[in-house]
Structure formats: structure tokens, C-alpha cells
Structure 1
Amino acid sequence: MTASDGSTGTGPGKASGLRLLRGSAGFRSLWSARVVSVGGDALSLVALMLHVADTTGQAIAVSLLLLVGDFVPSLLSPIAGAISDRFDLKRVMIVCELAQGVVLLLIAVSLPPLPLLLVLVGLRAIGGQVFLPASRAAIPELVRDKDLETANATLGFGTNAAEALGPLAAAALLPFVGIRGVLLVDAVSFLLAGAALLRLRSLPPARSPEVPQASLLEDAKSGLGYIWSAKAVRVVALGFCAVVAFNGVDDVALVLLATESFAAGESAVGLLLGAVGIGLLFGYALTARHSARMSLVTLLVAGFAVNSAGNLLTGLAWAVAAAFVTQFVRGFGIAAMDVATNTMLQRLVPAGMLGRVFGNLYGAVGVAAALSYTAGGFLLDATSAPTTLLIAGGGGLLATLLVAWTLPGVLRKHPADGHGLGSSPQPPPPHEPPRSSRKPD
């Protein structure tokens, strides 16, 4: 399979991340757009949190801001994914970036009161929710099949690096341009991301012309039904969500672990929270380089296991240094499970359903994270940070064992596909052409 810009650009073998960026103009455009917009998001989040905290003086207001930005769009994920499967992916992504830029511009200019601010933040987040499945669904059309692991790892490395640098950039800019100036920078970042996507070729939906167009709600419903009917996809999605539901509480637990259990200062909190981010970057780089040496099932299960074991061992840690090491290693697991999940779905799911599957997955992950924060908060109040991390890690390992026991058997029911999955992709639903039928010009 060639890239949609008309060339592989990477030679006959498996490409490295740098070769992929140099050789595929389409993937380079998508990568650049994601890195720029994610960096801008991280930049503006700091500014918005400071603005809400200063103008309201209430912690609940900041919590509402985060809830609207992260959880509320997840409820619309079936619709978001269906949009990706109905329209040209290039147009969907450009419209989403421009719409988010316009909303950020309105926020920057007006700095509205909290109720209106929450509405605008929610609208911007919905644009991002639509963009995400479209971007993941576009990757198989931009790179060769053998380069999917590398492409997903390279994209993960770039976006996580941008997310880590965003707050630092905000800290540098705020003294000079203020809250409004930082928000304007984010608005410009969305416009730049939209401009980068203009270099993409048209990526039309993979639909059979003989089949009448269903309504958007019917498409959303069929996307939910497909995940439940495709056993391998269901196992992967449920396993991912279960691991997140158990381990999502770690951000809160690490704060209490540093300040209460270890009686360390605020710098220790930053150190522990930063350890995962550093591990993530190393993990994506390592996965991009060596993922071809193992099957995706092995990579997925290993990612689940390392992610969960990292929290369990952090609960047993006796000092900040030990907890830093376990969280650093845990970052490798998060990178592995992210790359394995995205790549596996890109190979298992037919093109006409891929946007809906990714939309529903990311929406479910958002719900799982919200449940983890809520249940984990009660658990932290009732017990302690080490106990909470032990339970979180133990639950995640149990979910990992269930996936490791179930997934290979599900995949063995199909003939080998040669992609390192251990089986062939699930058959496409009626009237949906497989991804391989979508040929570039």
C-alpha cells in the first residue's frame, strides 16, 4: 500500500520515524498539525486555569473547566466518529482546526464570565473530539501498512513532547503577553495547523456508492453495534478502558504520595508527575524503532502490564527516587499500549468504520478516566495513596490477564494475515469496503 500522496518515500523496508516524516508529505503534514495544535492546547490550558482561579477564587470552577474540556465531549463520541466516516477526512480535520481557532479567538478577545466561558471551552473541545478519530483514521491512507506502528509511535512522541513543553512555554510567555496573549497564541496555532493540513490529498469516505446514505444517528448507532459484534475489537477496547479505569487515578494519588506519604515538597510532586511523561517519550521512541520485532498482541499485553505494574510498584515504593523510577518505567507501558491499540484497530477495522471505532474508543476512555478520578478520590479519602496505587495496579493487572487470555483465542479463529496480529482482520460489515480497496491516485 502506498501513501496517499502518491509515494512511499521510505524505500522497500520498514521506515524509521525520521524517514517517515521526510519521505511522506501527507504524514508530515498531519504530524505537524497535531504537534502544533496539541502544544497550543497545553499552552492555553494553563492560561485558562489561571484565569478561572483568579476571577472566581474557587477550586470547583477550575474543576468544572477541566470537566467540560475532557469529559463532556466524550458523551458525543459516537457522533464525532460518524462524522469522520461520512465526509472527506481532510476537510473534517481542517474545519475542526479552524473552528477551534475561532472559538479560542473569541475567548481571548472577550474573556467572558464563567458560564459563557464553559460553553465556549466545551465547543472547542467538541471540535477536538471530532478531529481525533479523523486523524487516526487518516494514518493508514498516508503511510504503508508495514509503517503503521512507526507512524503511530512518531505521532505519539511528537504530541506528548508538545504537551510537555506547552506549560513551560506558557510560563515563559505569561509575564510578557498575559492571559489574553497566550490564548491568542493558541488561536494562531490552530490556524497554522489548518494550513499544514492543506497539503494533504483528498481522503474521501470509504462508502459503497450503491448503498443509500444513512442518517448521522444511524451511522453512530451502527458504529456502536460494530464494536460489540467484532469480538477482537471489543476485547481490545474493553481492555484499554479497563486499564484506564483502574489506573487513571494515579495523577491525584501521586500528589498525595509525595506530600503526605513521603512528606516531600511541591518539587517532588512535579518530579513524580514528570516521570511518566519522560518515560512516555522514551517509550514512543523505543516502540518506533523496535515494535516490528514483536506481535501487536504481545506489545498490547506488555503495555497493559507495565502500565499497571508501574502503579502497583509505586504503591510499594519507600522514597521519591524509587517512585520516580517505577513511574518512569510505567511511561514505557503507556506508550506501548497506545501504539499497539491504534495500530491493531487500523488493521482490524474496515476503513468505512474506522472513524466510528476510534471515536467511540476515545469517548469511552474519557468516561473511564472520569470514573477513575471519582472512585479513586473516594478510595484516597478512605485509605491512603500507597493503598490506592496498589489497588489500581492490581486491578489493571487483572484486566491485563483477561485480555491476554481472551484475545489470542479470538484472533486464532481467523486465518493469519501476516501483520503480526496473530490473525486476520475482522470481516467488514455489509456494504463497507475494506481499507485495502481505497487506492491512492
Structure 2
Amino acid sequence: MTHPLREAAFARLWAAGFFGEIGQWALMLALPLYVLQLTRSALITSAVALLGLLPSLVFAPLAGAIADRWNLVVLLVLISAGQGLLLPALLLVDDTGDLWIIYLVSAGEAALAAMFEAAKNVAVATLVAEDQLVAANAAIGLNANLGRLTGSPLGGVVLGLWGLPGVVTLGGAAFAGTACLAATISRHRLDGVVEVAAAPFWRGIGDALGSLWRIRELRACMLVEGLLAIAQGMFVVLFLLFITDLLGKGETEAGVLRGVQAIGGLIGGVTAGVLARRLGPARLLSAGLLAFGAVSAVTWNAPSFTTAFGVYIVLFVIVGAPGVYTHAGWLAIIQRAAPPHIRGRVLGAILGLSDGLQALGMFIAGVLAGTVSTQVLLNAKVGLFVVAAVLAATLLVPHDRAGRREPPGQPIRATAP
């Protein structure tokens, strides 16, 4: 079976996403680090990180609604261009009195990144045959890990050598590359691309939200992803406590562990397609959740036996692969089950809901961290993965079959916005 990356249109979308990930990861590291250097305040620095999450609540569903109506190629190009055009405002930052500029740019970049992600997921479902969705999503997920391995170090090095002007140049070049590559997809519209049904801008949002509960696969995926989002939010808060309180390490070791997880993600991205052909997306999702929960349980309880840092490097590498399997599996199920004319709104609503519940998980962990031990909270997070795996196994696996799909060979066609 031909891998999706052998198809010209999808390969260009993949490459565009890769450059976008480099730009986003560079900014995610460089901007909070610059604020920390400028203010020496962890609270103010955390505000910059939080601004990278909240805009998705509004803009992911908005992007989904737009993606159901606009030409996807045009939309991806405009979003990428907007990301690049926001960056020069950072050149006006001189001291702490200019922090509001960084806040606005961070919020704007996060909003556009959420819109790009939603539109990209719709494009994947439009460009790729149904039986190739897991492999395609895994390849797209590979970008996040490659972007982390490439963009984060670049962001830190460039900030250290050339300051914010260097970061602006790096980000601008990355987003320009994304826009240029996305624009080339239009030359290959006839290479197996499926027509996206046009829909009025706001009409059908209620139908899209209703379908999340009405359609069994979407309802199950929403429940599973909700639990995962809460668990991920808890992880953001508890991970540093795990490093400092349970392992007795510092910021350097925390950075190493988050970085090496991308190595496992690369392995997962390469192998997910093969596993999906044997298991199907629902079984891949369920197996990925169980594996992720099992490795997490070992990781969070291992400090009772050893704090040798090498052990945790190995564990964090291993856990990266099932993380990719989980994401690729549930996303393929959603792309397959969502009605084509409201697919963008369905994907946008789920992504927005996911980020909202992730913020809830952060809040829960933050409130409980002072009264409940870190290890107990981390094991509660493992419990969320186990419950999600059971839901996937009972609600999705028995019905894991190919969904309906329009015949291939039609172009991505726009209705005038």
C-alpha cells in the first residue's frame, strides 16, 4: 500500500506543517524565556505560556467553520502569512513596560496556530483515502516531534545570539516557508483530492455540535479525548513537581526529558501506519492508551525504587510512541465519522473542547497539589488513561469499520467567502 507521503498534494501539506511546527516551537521556547530573562518572574512567564492555550477555545471552532466554506489552500496560506506578519511587532519590545506587546503577539500566534491546526486536519481528511488516515495523521504528528527537536533548540540558540530580532527572522522564515508550500497544493487538486461541500458560514454549527453526541464514534472520541485533555493538563503542572520533588532534579533535566519524548514520537510516527493496517484505528487507539498508561504508571512510581536519571530518559523515550498511536487513532476516527459538509466544525469543536478541558486539568492539579501528594495525583492521571482505554475498547472497537466516503478524484473547491 502506498504511503500518503508519496502523494504530491499530501507531501506538500506535510512539508508546510513541518515548517509551521518549527516556527511555533521556536516561539514557544523563545518568548517565555525572553520574558523570564526580562522580569525574573515565573508568574509572569507562566502567563505567556497560558496565552498559548486559551485562544484555541474560540479560534479552533472558528477555523473549523471557515474550513467548511473556504478553499483550504487559500485558508492555510492566509493563516501562515498572518503568523509571519505578527512577528515584527516584537521588534518594538525594549523593557518590561512593553510586555503587553509580547502578550498580544503570543495570543495572536496561538489563535492562528489553532486555526491552522483545525484547517490542516480537515485538509488531511480531504486529501487522503480513508484507509490511509491513520498513516497520514501519524506522519502529520511526526511534524510536531521533528518541530520540537528542531525548533526548540533553534529558538533558544537564536535568542541567545541575536535576541528578539533573530527570533522574528527565524519565525518569519518558517511561516513564509509554510505559506509557500501550502500554496503549491493547488497545483495538484486533481490528484485524488475530495471536494469539500460548501456551507454557509454559521449555518450548521448546531448540527455539528449535535453530531458530537448523536454519532456514536464522535461521542466516544469526545469522551476519550476529554479524559486525555484533563490528564494532559494535570501533567503540565505535575511534571515539574515530579522532577523537583520526586527526582530531586532541575530545569535542565526537565528539558531533557521533554525533548527525548520526541524520539519515541518519531518511532511512533514511522510505525503507526503499519500497526493501523493490522489493528484498525480503534484498536490502535485503545492499545496506545493502555501502553501509555502502563509506561506512565511505571514512570511515576519508579522514584520509590530509583532516581537514576538514565532510567527516566528511557521511559520518556518509550512513552512517546503510544502517544502518537493514540492521537493518530482518535483523529482518524473523527475524520472518518464526521459528515463531510461539517467536518471542519466538528474537528474545531473537539479541538477547542480539548484545550478547555486541558486548562481544567491544570486548575485541578494546581488546586490539589498543595494538599495531595504528587505521586497520588500522577497515579490519578494514569487512572484517566485506563478509563479512556476502556471506553475506547467498549464503545469504538466493536464498531471499527470503514465509514462512508465520497469518491476520490475531485478538487478542493472553494465557495466565495
Alpha-carbon distance in 2 for matches of 1:154, 1:69: 24
Matched residue of 1:199: which SS? helix
Which of residues 400, 405, 422 in structure 1 aligns to 2:401? 422
Q: 1:274 to 1:437 in 2, by over 3 A?
A: closer
Matched residue of 1:113: which SS? helix
Alpha-carbon distance in 1 for matches of 2:127, 2:92: 37
Which of residues 23, 26, 38 in structure 1 aligns to 2:9? 26
Q: How does 1:213-362 map to 2 (within 5 A)?
A: 214=200, 216-317=201-302, 318=305, 319=307, 320-362=309-351
Alpha-carbon distance in 2 for matches of 1:224, 1:82: 12
Do the aligned partners of 1:43 and 1:186 also contact (CA within 8 Å) in 2? yes
Alpha-carbon distance in 2 for matches of 1:186, 1:334: 27
Q: Counterpart in 2 of 1:150?
A: 135
Q: 1:372 to 1:297 in 2, by over 3 A?
A: same
Alpha-carbon distance in 2 for matches of 1:266, 1:63: 15
Alpha-carbon distance in 1 for matches of 2:316, 2:11: 31
Which one is further off, 28-37 or 57-66? 57-66
Question: Using CA pairs below 8 Å that are at least 6 residues apart, which structure has the higher relative contact order?
Answer: 2
Do the aligned partners of 2:285 and 2:392 also contact (CA within 8 Å) in 1? no
Name the aligned partner's letter for residue 410 of structure 2. Answer: K
Alpha-carbon distance in 2 for matches of 1:146, 1:405: 22
Do the aligned partners of 1:79 and 1:220 also contact (CA within 8 Å) in 2? no
Do the aligned partners of 2:61 and 2:347 also contact (CA within 8 Å) in 1? no
Alpha-carbon distance in 1 for matches of 2:171, 2:263: 24
Q: Counterpart in 2 of 1:391?
A: 380
Alpha-carbon distance in 1 for matches of 2:276, 2:73: 28
Q: 1:342 to 1:108 in 2, by over 3 A?
A: farther
Do the aligned partners of 1:81 and 1:220 also contact (CA within 8 Å) in 2? no
Q: Deviations over 1:241-277 (max 9, x none)?
A: 2122124322432322232222234443234333422
Does residue 85 in structure 1 map to residue 72 in structure 2?
A: no
Which one is further off, 122-131 or 259-268? 259-268
Alpha-carbon distance in 1 for matches of 2:164, 2:88: 12
Number of residue pairs the alignment of both structures matches: 401
Which one is further off, 78-87 or 246-255? 246-255
Name the aligned partner's letter for residue 228 of structure 2. Answer: V
Shift of 1:287: 1.0
Q: Counterpart in 2 of 1:5?
A: none
- Dislocated runs of 4+, deviation >4 Å: 109-112, 202-205
Aligned-residue sequence identity (percent) comes to 23
Q: 1:171 to 1:379 in 2, by over 3 A?
A: same
Name the aligned partner's letter for residue 73 of structure 1. Answer: S
Q: So what's the TM-score if we normalise by structure 2? A: 0.88
Matched residue of 1:402: which SS? helix
Does residue 371 in structure 1 map to residue 342 in structure 2?
A: no
Q: Counterpart in 1 of 2:196?
A: 206
Name the aligned partner's letter for residue 407 of structure 2. Answer: S
Shift of 1:36: 0.5
Q: Deviations over 1:150-202 (max 9, x none)?
A: 22111211232112221211233233322221122102211121011111126
Which one is further off, 264-273 or 384-393? 264-273
Do the aligned partners of 1:83 and 1:130 also contact (CA within 8 Å) in 2? no
Shift of 1:205: 6.3
Which one is further off, 103-112 or 236-245? 103-112
Do the aligned partners of 2:238 and 2:374 also contact (CA within 8 Å) in 1? yes
Do the aligned partners of 2:275 and 2:284 also contact (CA within 8 Å) in 1? no
Q: So what's the TM-score if we normalise by structure 1? A: 0.84
Q: 1:42 to 1:400 in 2, by over 3 A?
A: same
Q: Counterpart in 1 of 2:46?
A: 63
Alpha-carbon distance in 1 for matches of 2:26, 2:212: 35
Alpha-carbon distance in 2 for matches of 1:204, 1:296: 21
Q: 1:382 to 1:321 in 2, by over 3 A?
A: farther
Name the aligned partner's letter for residue 303 of structure 1. Answer: G
Q: Counterpart in 2 of 1:118?
A: 103
Root-mean-square deviation (CA), in Å? 2.4
Q: 1:128 to 1:273 in 2, by over 3 A?
A: closer
Shift of 1:437: 6.9
Which of residues 382, 401, 426 in structure 1 aligns to 2:390? 401
Name the aligned partner's letter for residue 381 of structure 1. Answer: G
